Amino acid sequence: MWTSIAAPMMSWVMPEVLVNRGCIIRPFENRGDRGNREIISVTSVDSCSVYTLVMVAALLAAAGRRVASAEEAYRANPRPPTDGLVGANYTPAYAVNQVQFWHDFRPEVVERELAAAKKYFGITTLRVYLHNVNFDEEREKFLANIEQFLQICDRHGIRPGFVFFDDCHRHEGIYLDEPTEPVKGYHNGRWAACPQDRDRDPNDPEKLKPYVQEVIRPHRDDRRVLWWEVFNEPHLKSAYSVRLRKLGYAWAKELKPVQPVISCWDDNEATDVVDAHNYRAAFDRWDRQAELNPAKGCVFTEAGARWYAPRPSNGEPCEVIRWLAGRKAVGKYVPGVYLCWELMVGNSNCRWYWGTPEGTPEPTVPWCGLLWPDATPVSLAEAEAVRRYVTGQPRAMFFDDFQDAPRPSRPGWTAYGGAGPGDSGYLPLGAGTKMVAGHPKWTDYVLEARVMLKSETRGNAGLVFRVNDPGPGHDEMRGYYVGLDTRKLYLGKMQNNWQPLAEFDLTKLDCRVRPDVWNLLRVAAEGPRIRVWLNRMHPSADPDRGLRIELTDEREPILSGAVGVRSHLVEAWFDNVVVLPAEELP
């Protein structure tokens, strides 16, 4: 039996919310016009009472979040509220696209993922996509889910911005009642362009106005919302998209929101802030975008990705953070950034590069995404770099992203053999070389680095740990070594000779170790226990979560020592070396 109760009236109008406890609202259901009343539908008096209390609390909290009157609507200025913030684009790991996110809204998953974003990275903002399909077919549920999402964000000190329209990827075939599965190898293979082509009526773009305005209206002076974005990457050769961008901006500004209204690309007539995207490691271009219009300021709503062979980097997170810190250090304008495309390595499949064909094997390192679906960092080095920049609180015992200073003479390192030539951004080692850093009294810790083999030979390259008494020969030391070639992962003890301890067959993995491709190698040493992770993949392909070797060294274990990198009979590159206390291991 349905019971309808009018929610308490406040000084502003909240869109109606429909809750059917124990039922799923069927898509395409016609609910008619309920005017401006707030209607809460529940199945019992008890649940109605609880829900009423929740809504009253939300309304009172929202009243306290009002930050400006209609006369104080946002106007373009040199210091937008995005300045200095660090975030990522967000779709939960379970969702293939934004339509599934809002239709199958799972607050417990969002809570866990945002808590991890704050814990590991100190993230303060997210870029979140909406879709008119959800608004058109389940309006009340959609608007209620946005409010619940904002409450979760607020608990974690995260301010999202919302995107209305998008010209990227699938322009047809997205429906609420036709679930879609991720397609292996297909970057963003189920992402939903908005609107879908069936809704792109050039004679009636105004039909999309309620979608924009009914989302913004209850939050036009809500400080939990950072900005509103009209259009992501519109096709500028499409008259419809260009017109919709202009109209969408006008619809939003008509409501006089206190937040900026933005839109791609870079600077244009439909944006209050320069809305920049960049997927290259040539930071002179980033500088030009950041300074394109000083009267508006700039935000990089898409700020780089990791790498795709043979390009060493597409603006990976550590490099972007170094660029931001460099600008800040010399007093230049510091824009906000949304790193590595997305927060989660999930079912959107953006761990693959643009244009990879269906069926492509898993990558050795995800192209995009900061957190795995279990809400642990893809890279501890990236987490350290971002968190340290945002909070000013380092946790690492040692960190080097190789973004400055020449090699082989490098502060904090001692070289044994010869380092090779290379641009700033990575550490090149010649065959038969090792470099050591840290302290011989370090005991339990986690060591992580990226490793790239430069050719396919019988040699290998990797990390040394618990290093004592290093000497000029690449085998001259007492400690442990974990290295890889294109076929095997090796763990052994070195006491001026090689004592093998364990091997792992890399040919069993869906991803493949190849020359000129980065690999992510992590070691945890706790007492005599040693664990080694290499090239973790999405859980659909890697139930072991990257753990390749685990053993306890019971014969005279080496329990303390420094760290380093080593190449044996092969040239190799290294990047983003970090050492953390063992208790920092997720």
**pLDDT interval class at 188 (50, 70, 90):** confident
Please, where are the H alpha helices in 178-282? 209-216, 239-254
> Which of the pair, 183 or 132, is modelled with greater confidence?
132
Buried b (16+ CB within 10 A) or exposed e, 264-287: bbbebebbbbbbbbbbebebeebe
> Among the listed ranges 32-46, 153-167, 478-492, 547-561, which one has the minimum average pLDDT value?
32-46
* pLDDT value of position 41: 32
Identity of residue 515: P
Taking the C-alpha atoms of residue 13 and residue 214, their distance in angstroms, rounded to an integer, is 11
- Give CATH superfamily name and number for 82-391: Glycosidases (3.20.20.80)
Contact 377, 345 (CB under 8 A): no
Q: Tokens 């036009």, residue?
A: 220
- Give the relative orientation of helices 139-155 and 107-116 as an angle to the nearest 10 degrees: 30
Residue 506 contacts residue 484 (beta carbons within 8 Å): yes
Contact 226, 125 (CB under 8 A): yes
| Topology classification of domain 398-584 | Jelly Rolls (2.60.120)
What is the mean predicted confidence (pLDDT) over 406-424?
69
Report strand pairing: 336-342 vs 572-581.
unpaired
The first and second tokens of residue 18, run together, are 């429909």
Can you give the pLDDT at residue 66?
54
According to the model, what pLDDT value does residue 407 have? 57
- Distance between CA atoms of residues 186 and 156, nearest Å: 32
Interval 59-100: pLDDT, tens: 445 544 554 444 589 999 999 999 999 999 999 999 999 999
Task: Return phi, psi of residue 508, to 5°.
Answer: -80, -15
Give the count of beta carbons closer than 10 Å to the beta carbon of residue 497: 9
The burial class, CB within 10 Å (0-12 / 13-18 / 19+), for 72 is exposed
φ/ψ of 88, rounded to 5, equals -155, 160
Residue 409 predicted with pLDDT over 90: no
Instruction: Give the model's confidence band at 405: pLDDT under 50 very low, under 70 low, under 90 confident, else very high.
Output: low
Lowest model confidence (mean pLDDT) among 274-288, 307-321, 333-347: 307-321
Amino acid at 217: R
Q: In terms of Cα–Cα distance, which of 153, 192, 167, 144 is closest to 18?
A: 144
Q: 20 to each of 13, 110, 277, 396, how far by Cα in Å? A: 22, 21, 41, 49
Q: How far is Cα 278 from Cα 257, in angstroms, rounded to an integer?
A: 28
CA distance 477 to 483: 15
What's residue 302's pLDDT?
Answer: 98
Give Cβ neighbours of residue 207 (< 8 Å, ≥ 6 apart). 199, 201
What distances in angstroms separate CA 305 from CA 313, 320, 382, 541, one per listed residue?
7, 10, 12, 22
Mean pLDDT of 108-123: 98
- State the pLDDT at residue 475: 83
d(CA 76, CA 572) in angstroms, rounded, equals 48
CB atoms within 10 A of CB 364: 23
Spatial separation of the C-alpha atoms in residues 554 and 582, rounded to whole Å: 20
List the beta bridge partners of residue 478. Answer: 468, 495
Q: Provide the mean pLDDT of the chain.
A: 88
Residues 372, 380: Cα–Cα separation, whole Å: 12
Q: What's phi and psi for 212, nearest 5 deg?
A: -70, -50
**Which conformational region is residue 359 in: left (phi greater than 0), alpha (psi within -120 to 50 degrees), or beta?**
left
Q: Classify 70 in phi/psi space as left (phi over 0), alpha (psi -120 to 50) or beta.
A: alpha
Query: What confidence score (pLDDT) does residue 355 get?
Result: 85
pLDDT tens-place string over residues 472-495: 877 899 999 999 999 999 999 999
Q: What share of the chain is helix, strand, coil (3-state, %, to 5)?
A: 25, 25, 50
Distances in whole angstroms, Cα of residue 273 to Cα of each of 35, 161, 256, 266, 299? 35, 13, 16, 8, 7
Q: Angle at the Cα of 91 (from 87 to 96), degrees rounded to 5?
A: 150
Who contacts 383 (Cβ-Cβ below 8 Å, separation ≥6)?
120, 121, 370, 377
Residue type, 122: G
Q: Where are the domains of the chain?
A: 3-64, 82-391, 398-584
> Counting Cβ atoms within 10 Å, is residue 329 exposed (0-12), middle (13-18) or buried (19+)?
exposed
Owner of token pair 């390009």: 311
CA nearest neighbour of 531 among 543, 521, 541, 542? 521
**What CA–CA distance (Å, rounded) separates 489 from 247?**
57
CA gap 472, 343 in Å, rounded: 43
The answer on pLDDT for 13 being more than 80 is no
Gap between the Cα atoms of 146 and 130, Å rounded:
9
**What pLDDT sits at residue 177?**
83
Half-sphere exposure of 155 (CA within 13 A, CB side): 14
Q: Is the pLDDT assigned to residue 457 strictly greater than 90?
A: no
Does 32 score more than 50 pLDDT? no
Asked if residue 526 has pLDDT above 90, the reply is yes
Least confident of 26-40, 169-183, 261-275, 348-362: 26-40
Label residue 27 by pLDDT band (50, 70, 90).
very low
